[in-house]
Structure 1
Amino acid sequence: MSQPSEPGSGSHEEPTAAEQAAADAEKNPPTKEWWDDPNLPWQGKPSKQDKQCWAAIALLGLYGIILLPLRPILLGLDSYVLAFVTGSNIAMADIGAKLATGDEPWWWVALLAAALTSVKFDWIFWWAGKLWGHDIIRVMSGRSKWAARTGAAAERLARKYGAPAIFLSWFIPFLPGAIVAAFVGDVGMKLRKYMLIDFIGALCYRAVWMYLGFNIGEPAKDLVKVIAKYANWFAVAMLIFIFVSTFLRTRRQQREAAS
């Protein structure tokens, strides 16, 4: 005769604690931390230095956006102001043209200031390369196909030539010097050496523009005057463009997140 089944017994066994925990995890997946993102350069939870460097890069981007519509306004004020604040090529050409057409005793001050202001934030990308190595190059190169191509070209240049690549990056159009900076930071170049070569490259590059203005002379001054004349309108247009593009990008991201 068959034994009577125990009360409450059935054909299915009760899940173990591990199985129950796995089932609960599937139903309620853990919240993903903000830093756990493949688009960020670090591996694992970021350290204090990671956060500081990333914040510096973000602030640098914000600084560039704020400065973009201000450039034509600064040009309208004075070429020396523009040279000191942005290291502008147009400012260098204008000062060179003034040097050719009259007395301009402080041209060398503008040249030094333009070179210094052009490299004042480059150490941030050297620092990023030292902290994150190739991961920051991957992040900077992954924004678009164009960024990927130019980033790969910059990395090849830095890998092949090393220190001279820092200088050459100033003279090769569309080549991102930030990636060269990150690469040399990754391979252990000292910051002092990097900044010295970077400054020499910036000085020579700005000097080329000043020399062009010097050779062109009066026509270069006339062109700068025309640009300055319409500077305010251009600044307004740039502000509108920045706000509209930011608004549209935010809307698109919200739609993608909702879908």
Structure 2
Amino acid sequence: MTTETQRDRVGKSRPLDKPWLPWGGTPSSRDLFCWYGIWLVFAYSFAMWPLKPWLIGTNPVLLEALTGTQSAMAIAGAFARVGEAPLALVMAAGIFGMMKFSWVFWLAGRLWGENVVRLFAGSQQGGRARRRLDLLSRDTPARRWIIGAAVVLEPLPLVPGPVVFASAGWVGMGLPTFLLLNLIGVAAWTGLFVGLGYAIGQPAVDIAETVSEHAVWVSLAVIVGGLVVQTVISRIRAGRRS
């Protein structure tokens, strides 16, 4: 896809009339499906927080599939070590848990291109952010290699998943290629944490079971902590605007 064609599809054909939406004009059914899907993914992530202490010591494999968190992978690996879960199932659950929603953000990039990448990346478009977007908008082999590598490395903590996945859709990466690259990175990341838990074994199982025994208090602490952090962030942003 040439740069001009890409810009015609994303920029000129669908100018924005609301800065908080990635499309302009009347949304199509695909727009609404993807938009509400993104918000459901974020809501789902928040809804899983209180469940983690309940499941970490009772069914970490299910927790892997629901959340795709590293702690669940490690504990599930420890459960596999003591014979409480098949190792293959532990790996499969971890991979599924990390990949299950990635296609939603890829679809967002395919539908809205640079508009949604800007939205995920934040409002600041100067300096480095502007140069990164300029690089992505060029139809070059380097751009495709960079996006492909970013999809593989997305599990790393400093790689922003929604931006990377949406960028893959924006630059025209096909869904099978995207899922394959994502699978490579996710499988390596899952294997790392499952292997760590497997090496620790029974001590990790004991800790997880202790956490689950006090799940009510841990869940309350997670909820309260989340509310406090959100309040602090809101106040900081309000102070910057004033």
The TM-score with structure 2 as length reference comes to 0.74
Match of 1:196 among 176, 180, 185: 180
Q: Is the 8 A contact 1:130 1:185 kept in 2?
A: yes
Q: Distance in 1 between matches of 2:179 and 2:58?
A: 30
Identity %: 33
Match of 1:97 among 78, 83, 88: 78
Match of 2:213 among 204, 219, 229: 229
| Residues 1-259 of structure 1 mapped to structure 2, 5 A cutoff | 36-100=17-81, 102-104=82-84, 106-142=86-122, 160-170=145-155, 172-242=156-226
- Equivalent position SS for 1:40: coil
- Runs (5+) with no aligned partner, structure 2: 1-15, 137-141
- For each residue in 1:16-46, what CA deviation from the matched residue of structure 2 results, as whole angstroms up to 9, or x when unmatched? xxxxxxxxxxxxxxxxxxx942122113332
- Residue 20 of structure 1 is matched in structure 2 by none
- Equivalent position SS for 2:32: helix
The TM-score with structure 1 as length reference comes to 0.69
- Equivalent position SS for 1:181: helix
Q: Distance in 1 between matches of 2:124 and 2:113?
A: 20
The structure whose residues are more often helix, as a share, is 2
CA apart distance, 1:53: 1.2
- For each residue in 1:87-113, what CA deviation from the matched residue of structure 2 results, as whole angstroms up to 9, or x when unmatched? 33222212322344x335612112112
CA gap of 1:158–1:239, structure 2 versus 1, over 3 A, is: farther
Q: Which has the higher contact order (CA 8 A, sep 6+)?
A: 2
Q: Distance in 2 between matches of 1:175 and 1:158?
A: 16
- Residue 28 of structure 1 is matched in structure 2 by none
CA apart distance, 1:74: 1.8
- Residue 4 of structure 2 is matched in structure 1 by none
- Runs (5+) with no aligned partner, structure 1: 1-34, 254-258
- Equivalent position SS for 2:169: helix
CA gap of 1:218–1:167, structure 2 versus 1, over 3 A, is: same
Aligned residues, how many? 217
Root-mean-square deviation over aligned CA pairs: 3.5
